[in-house]
Structure 1
Amino acid sequence: MKTRSLGRLTAVAGAAVMCIGGLVAITATPAQAQERVVLSSGHTDAVDVHYEDGRLALKVHDDTVRPSVTRDPQDVTFQVLPQAAVEVPDLPEYAFLGPAGSTVWLLPMTQDPSLLWPGWNTTTLQSGLFQGDKVRLSLVDVVGPGRVSVFMTDPVGQPLVKFRSDDGLPDALDVPIGTHAHANWVFSALGSYTLTFRADAALSSGVAVSTGPVAYHFVVGDRPDPEPQVKLSIQGQQPAYAPGAAVTLTAVQTPATDLDRYRWFSKCPGATGYAAIPSEVSATYSFTATVKLDNCQYLVRLYRDGEVPVAESAPVTVNVEDADVPGSSQTIKVTIDEAQGALVLSVDPKDRTVNLPAATMSVAGDRWQSAGDLRPVTVTDTRPGEPGWNVAGQLSDFTAGDLRVSGKYLGWTPRVLGQADGQGVAAGAAVASGFSAGNGLAASSVLGSAPPGDGRGTARLGAGLTLELPTETVPGQYVATLTLTAI
């Protein structure tokens, strides 16, 4: 790749560009996101601070068109063109950008007509409106394949760092009213980035106002298809997990493609941004729930050609609790008669959640399918007289918020996983999914049994699970409760 020298660029950058005064025309804000506009060259106040109708807001002042317009950040993609590539100079003051000689992508502080020239702007705000005649602009989060730095240079070329993602966020900058400023924006890797900014201020009355977090989307290098042919979501997450439970998150493409390169990211409470999870590059990410992971968020990205992002999922939150886990946990009922010994039915409390893989379309295209295994069920019979026993299960409806799907669509093939010497435990009959006919596990179904005289001791039962859902099932994360009863 042919790159320019960052040292030569900063040598001519000069003092910070600061223009005082001037008003920007404000267009009506759309009620919802429109088709995203791509800005790749020309002047723009990327972070444009407004105060309207008692609310502080962040906009984008697009000066690349005539007349200029004000846009919502969610409607804009800022593109850092491939020709923005430069080499990090061999100067210690620029070491924060990366190793000397390495390539970064830079939008310079002084305008280059062939590149985008983004800045920030407070010229629309009235003097005397805010305490100190200033607002605080913060970069609160960066999600992307590399580091992001925003810095100015002084008259002799020394960097004045304003925002930097790799040494802890948020970074805050007090911006006086009437400011129009530009800086060097540097990205360390190709790909898609989301920069989250926030503006805060105190009105002259003392009332605090804030924009809240506002996402800005940047693409460094060539853009992926403007209309991605695949959307990405995460499935398999349960409403809550007990410590020690297995968590399996699965990335699902809609529609499915041949792309199979993923990258998983996490952000736990107290973290300043999402961090890539090392070595997790497949469609499935599995780990063990711990109390420390409570309220951690996870997202996944899909890539093509190694580093070109194609799609990004919405984040999901994992909740870890000490209490019994609701949802798809196995609900156990136990009957104990002290005078007559006991028939005890149990499931390991650390292994009582069934995580079925994300459903896929059948070859015939007539149903959604998924399969998995019931967690092991232990039956211990210490009753005198050896009356025998029977364990049956019945499934509730699957629910996803207000959505509901009958439990009949789940079937099973029971198995005897182990039994004591002399026991005569038998697996129950296979129950087909009720997709075509029948009630599946919505009706009470035998998991296993032992005849009189052959039930005393401990046995372990399991089952293979088969789920078949109609194609019109509304997408979502569905959970159901299987109630097991021993008699």
Structure 2
Amino acid sequence: MRTTGVRGLAALIGSTVIAGGVLLAPAAAAAAEQVVLSKGHTDAVDVHYDDGELSLKVHDDTVSPSVSRDPADVTFQVLPEAAITVPDDPRFAFLGPTGSQVWLLPLTQDPDLLWPGWNTTELSSGVFTGDQVKISLVDVDGPGDLFVFTQDSFGSPLMKFRSDDGLPDALDVPAHTHAHANWAFTAEGNYTLTFQADATLVGGGAVSTGPVEYSFVVGELSTGPDTVLSISGMADEEYQPGDTVTLQAVQTPQTDLDHYHWFSRCPGSDDFVIISGEVGEEYSFTATRELNACEYQVKLYDENHSVVATSEAVWLWVAFPPVDPAASQTITASIDPAQGALVISVDPDDRSVVLPPAQLSAGGDRWESTGSLRPVTVTDTRAGTPGWSASGQLPEDFVSAGGATFSAGYLGWTPQVVSQSNGQGVVAGPVVEPYVVGVGGGLGASAVLGSAPSGAGRGTATLSANLQLHLPTETVPDTYTATLTLTAI
């Protein structure tokens, strides 16, 4: 094991390596295969743009000829020999206390270690604004922190990415760049690094790879059977508010490990958040309407607090609170025919809205689709011109032919006044955003499409709305329908 001091550290990370120009294009891999890269040169974050799509690949130069691989097929190993001692130098205090250990893949190549970098030499000039792309470190999931840095001519660190002070970190990289840096990990164990590349096309429009996960192992590879973690106990049907939900972590095969952490992610949140105090194999809580459409995940840890296994997420569905008939009222309204009428209507031959197939959002955190409400006509012939308000609501959730559902609240709208009679003062209703936890929203509750004040409602107005649908990424693929109820009072 290495115990490098200040001079040894400086020798390992002496200077920045950035090469301009074009590398030889890596050959395509003959077939997908799972590989472990532990020694030699590789461009771990290799940016490509083909057929209008930006993508991240791995340029594996440890074989001859070199090949291009999918990051999902690669495990990057930081060998135990990469361990060094943090020097007594305040410039490197971010690595940890003096004398503690970190595992360092150095800026300059060591033939006995992995030499990862990033590469944009496959990108053509004149495609992206400024001839550059933005490479971001979006997330680091592991037992320690990651620091990726170069050094100036005086040996002082120049940080590129670091996980200890909040992510994402972004780096603007010109096309035709091939670069290396120091990769320092503060603990042994399994890490998942999530990178993303984004760019703006010269002709307009943004392109993104979306988040791409990279697997790193610091230290020895596990030789035992993989432990698969799952969650049992979540009911397929809806819970009623007040029901007890009991989730159980299940190991396959069973091990002696018993240290867990439970996580949740609710609509409106991009990331899973740790549930404080829940470290056992069982997690119980009370279902509330506010928790509807939340996801739950559990992770298993070893004695070094390294993640051994992560479960797939499970979804919680909570019904609307039941209505107590004893606390309800029946409202009957009538209109004197002699005084005219207030009528809301739609063309019977133009009453179906078919939203385009949902697409993944730029952030990769949800499905999105937009469309337009078909014209809604409100005619007021009442002599008293009391004004009116037209509203819409989805009283039931969306349902597919296969019985899958999602909440009506995931649909929102931006109302519009298409036309109105002379003398009317019709205004569009407020924007209703799709449902967000803790904020609310969505058309699961009644929302105003348009209104006219007293004295300015008589005549005929045509209303519409732009529709916005935001769905969790785990929504079951299918075709869903729901009925929008329109009322005018």
RMSD of aligned residue pairs (Cα, Å): 3.7
Distance of 1:169 and 1:178 partners within structure 2? 26
Instruction: Determine whether 1:204 maps to 2:207.
Output: no
Tell me which residue corresponds to 1:168: 166
Which is worse superposed, 210-219 or 141-150?
141-150
| SS of match in other structure, 1:95 | helix
2:127 and 2:244 map into 1 onto residues whose CA distance is: 54
Check the 8 A contact 1:264/1:300 in 2, yes or no. yes
- Equivalent position of 1:452 in the other structure: none
Distance 1:27 1:158 in 2: 37
Contact 1:190 1:307 in 2 (8 A): no
On the 8 A contact 2:103/2:186 being kept in 1, the answer is yes
Deviation at 1:289, TM superposition (A): 5.8
Match of 1:231 in 2: 228
Residue 209 and residue 48 in structure 1: after superposition, are their counterparts in 2 closer, same or farther (change >3 A)? Answer: same
- Check if 1:53 corresponds to 2:51: yes
Q: TM-score, normalised by structure 2?
A: 0.60
The structure-2 alpha-carbon separation of the partners of 1:221 and 1:288, relative to structure 1 and needing over 3 Å to count, comes to: farther
The structural deviation recorded for 1:54 is: 1.2
TM-score (norm 1): 0.60
In structure 2, what is the equivalent of residue 324 of structure 1? 320
> Where does 1:210-249 land on structure 2 (aligned, <5 Å)?
210-225=208-223, 228=226, 230-238=227-235, 246-249=244-247
Distance 1:43 1:25, change over 3 A: same
Secondary structure in structure 2 of the residue aligned to 1:9: helix
Give yes or no for the alignment of 1:25 onto 2:21: no
CA distance in 1, matches of 2:286, 2:152: 50
Q: 1-side partners of 2:158 and 2:298: how far apart? A: 34
- Measured after TM superposition, the shift of residue 25 of structure 1 is 2.5
The correspondence for 1:301, drawn from 299, 302, 327, is 299
The 1:152/1:255 distance shift into structure 2, 3 A limit, reads: same
- Flag the 1:267–1:153 CA change in 2: closer, same or farther, 3 A: farther
Separation in 1, partners of 2:58, 2:101: 28
Q: How many residues align?
A: 335
Mapping 1:13-162, distance limit 5 Å: 13-28=13-28, 34-162=32-160
Task: Tell me whether 295-304 or 156-165 shows the greater mean CA deviation.
Answer: 295-304
What is the rounded CA distance, in whole Å, between the counterparts of 1:267 and 1:90 in structure 2?
41
Matched-pair contact (CA < 8 Å) for 1:301–1:310: yes
1:199-228 per-residue CA deviation (whole Å, 9 max, x = no partner) reads 001111112111111010111111113752
Distance in structure 1 (CA, Å) of the matches to 2:257 and 2:92: 37
What amino acid is aligned across from residue 15 of structure 1 in structure 2?
S
The aligned amino acid for 1:119 is: G
1:168/1:272 contact within 8 Å kept: no
Cα distance, 1:97 vs. partner? Answer: 2.0
Closer, same or farther: CA 318–55 of 1 in aligned 2, 3 Å: same
- Aligned residues with identical type, % of pairs: 59
What secondary structure does 2:97 align onto?
A: coil
Write the deviation string for residues 8-55 of structure 1: whole angstroms up to 9, x where unpaired. 323552331101112343444789xx4421001111000000011111
- Cα distance in 2 for residues equivalent to 1:101 and 1:291: 52
Structure 2: gaps of 5 or more residues: 328-400, 405-489
How many Å separate the matches in 1 of 2:291 and 2:7?
Answer: 44
Where do 5+ consecutive residues of structure 1 fail to align?
326-330, 337-400, 405-487
